[in-house]
């Protein structure tokens, strides 16, 4: 069973991407049926909170780790708004205006955008003489170029007829305007996701229990997304669930897309690291690109296909540059740990030698008298 355990992280990340692809396809389907993206985001996090909150409470009830102080509350409130409410509303609107294949391709921009934001904030070292930095810069340029080609150079249509979304918060005058606005929303989604990843580092330190942390995030996101939907959604009938498809998609996105994938990804990162997790992101785009034209009859454009391939290639170049950096850090860490271990051995030997040189009974001990 040892070989099976070694493949569990791979199986977990593949399952994660299959779940994400299912979320993208199912939400695209209910959006095309007329469900409001803003309302769907609310229902998704209501269901996710219902599932994860009791688990967090009863599993940590005795330790009291589910309590929040002012600092951790502030952090969770901020990252819930940026990483969930803004991120998923931007993604939903972009998915609504384009299609699931393009939305899945844009998700692969997140590592490149994170590198740019972290470099501007001084959190990422930029050394143009280093192959690692050059790889990350080149990969970022390729990713951005691919995203621009998706937005601006759709090219000839390869599959399926026109399928414009029936409603959106924007008032686009043509199909080209809708497509471009959708790509802008997806770019904003990647930026908010990247900022969320950066802010997660100090935020998680303020409340180190990941299960309780995620439960509070889902709860905060439910309140915030409800407020956003009430402000943006003018039609009160939009809150009505009209079919089992809409209800089932909300359950799937909330339970599987939020609660289950969080546990899988957290475990895989703890076992194999964040870079290992990021390497599987293009799998979602591949699955959606294959299934969306077949199941949902979505449009496929030549420019979008080439741009998606460029984004995936750029992503792996960025990950290669980051992998080299991780290898160097791990080597340094291993060297430091070996030195520390050697020092501990020396101290232990010296202590043992001192103990052997001392008599079993000292002259001042009570037994000597």
pLDDT at 334 over 50: no
State both tokens at 287. Answer: 């699955």
Q: In the block, which residue shows the tokens 């007829």? A: 161
* SS3 label, residue 62: coil
In the chain, which residue ranges form alpha helices assigned H by DSSP? 2-32, 37-59, 70-80, 87-97, 100-107, 110-120, 131-152, 175-206, 210-232, 244-251, 261-272, 274-278, 281-291, 302-357
Interval 192-204: pLDDT, tens: 988 887 887 788 7
- Which pTM does this prediction carry? 0.73
Mean pLDDT of 159-181: 57
With cut-offs at 50, 70 and 90, classify the pLDDT of residue 90. very high
State both tokens at 257. Answer: 């897309």
Interval 232-242: pLDDT, tens: 888 888 888 88
With cut-offs at 50, 70 and 90, classify the pLDDT of residue 175. low
pLDDT of residue 353: 46
Spell out the residues 6+ positions from residue 24 whose beta carbon is closer than 8 angstroms to its own: 95, 100, 103, 104, 284, 288
pLDDT at 367 over 50: no
pLDDT at 11 over 70: yes
Closest CA to 88 of 310, 243, 250: 250
Q: How far apart are CA 361 and CA 369, in angstroms?
A: 10
Q: Can you list the pairs that 191-196 forms with residues at least 24 positions away whose Cβ atoms lie under 8 Å?
A: 191/113, 191/117, 192/82, 192/83, 192/86, 192/87, 192/90, 193/83, 193/87, 193/110, 193/113, 194/110, 194/113, 194/114, 194/117, 195/82, 195/83, 195/117, 196/79, 196/82, 196/83, 196/84, 196/87
DSSP H or E segment with residue 301: strand 300-301
Q: In the block, which residue shows the tokens 């979602």? A: 284
pLDDT of residue 97: 84
Bridge partner list, 157: 301
pLDDT of residue 320: 79
Phi then psi dihedrals of residue 331, to 5 deg: -65, -45
Interval 148-167: pLDDT, tens: 777 666 666 665 544 444 44
pLDDT of residue 229: 92
pLDDT of residue 366: 41
Q: Which of 67-76, 220-229, 291-300 has the highest mean pLDDT?
A: 220-229
Q: How far apart are CA 136 and CA 203, in angstroms?
A: 26
pLDDT at 81 over 80: yes
Residue with more model confidence, 158 or 17? 17
Q: Can you list the pairs that 351-355 forms with residues at least 24 positions away whose Cβ atoms lie under 8 Å?
A: none
Residue with more model confidence, 187 or 315? 187
Q: How far apart are CA 85 and CA 288, in angstroms?
A: 23
Q: Are 249 and 4 in contact (CB under 8 A)?
A: no
Residue with more model confidence, 153 or 139? 139
The pLDDT mean for the chain works out to: 75
């Amino acid at each position: 069973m040892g070989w099976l355990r070694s493949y569990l992280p791979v199986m977990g990340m593949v399952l994660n991407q299959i779940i994400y692809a299912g979320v993208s396809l199912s939400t695209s389907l209910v959006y095309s049926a007329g469900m409001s993206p803003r309302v769907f985001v609310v229902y998704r996090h209501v269901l996710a909170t219902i599932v994860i909150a009791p688990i967090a409470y009863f599993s940590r009830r005795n330790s009291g780790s589910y309590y929040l102080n002012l600092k951790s509350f502030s952090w969770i409130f901020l990252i819930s708004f940026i990483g969930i409410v803004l991120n998923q509303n931007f993604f939903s609107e972009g998915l609504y205006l384009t299609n699931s294949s393009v939305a899945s391709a844009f998700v692969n921009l997140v590592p490149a955008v994170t590198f740019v934001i972290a470099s501007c904030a001084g959190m990422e070292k930029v050394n143009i003489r280093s192959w690692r930095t050059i790889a990350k810069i080149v990969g970022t340029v390729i990713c951005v170029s691919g995203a621009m080609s998706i937005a601006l150079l759709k090219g000839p249509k390869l599959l399926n007829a026109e399928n414009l979304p029936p409603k959106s918060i924007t008032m686009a005058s043509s199909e080209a305007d809708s497509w471009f606005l959708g790509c802008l929303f997806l770019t904003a989604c990647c930026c908010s996701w990247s900022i969320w990843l950066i802010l997660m580092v100090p935020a998680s330190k303020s409340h180190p229990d990941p299960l309780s942390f995620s439960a509070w995030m889902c709860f905060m996101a439910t309140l915030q997304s409800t407020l956003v939907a009430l402000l943006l959604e003018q039609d009160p009938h939009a809150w009505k669930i009209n079919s089992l498809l809409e209800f089932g998609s909300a359950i799937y996105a909330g339970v599987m897309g939020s609660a289950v994938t969080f546990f899988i990804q957290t475990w895989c990162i703890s076992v194999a690291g964040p870079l290992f997790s990021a390497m599987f992101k293009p799998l979602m785009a591949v699955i959606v690109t294959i299934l969306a034209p077949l199941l949902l009859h979505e449009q496929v454009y030549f420019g979008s296909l080439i741009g998606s391939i460029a984004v995936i290639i750029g992503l792996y170049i960025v990950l290669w540059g980051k992998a080299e950096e991780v290898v160097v850090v791990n080597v340094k860490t291993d060297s430091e740990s070996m030195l520390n271990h050697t020092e501990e051995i020396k101290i232990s030997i010296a202590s043992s030698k001192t103990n052997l040189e001392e008599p079993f009974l000292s002259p001042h001990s009570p037994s000597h008298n």
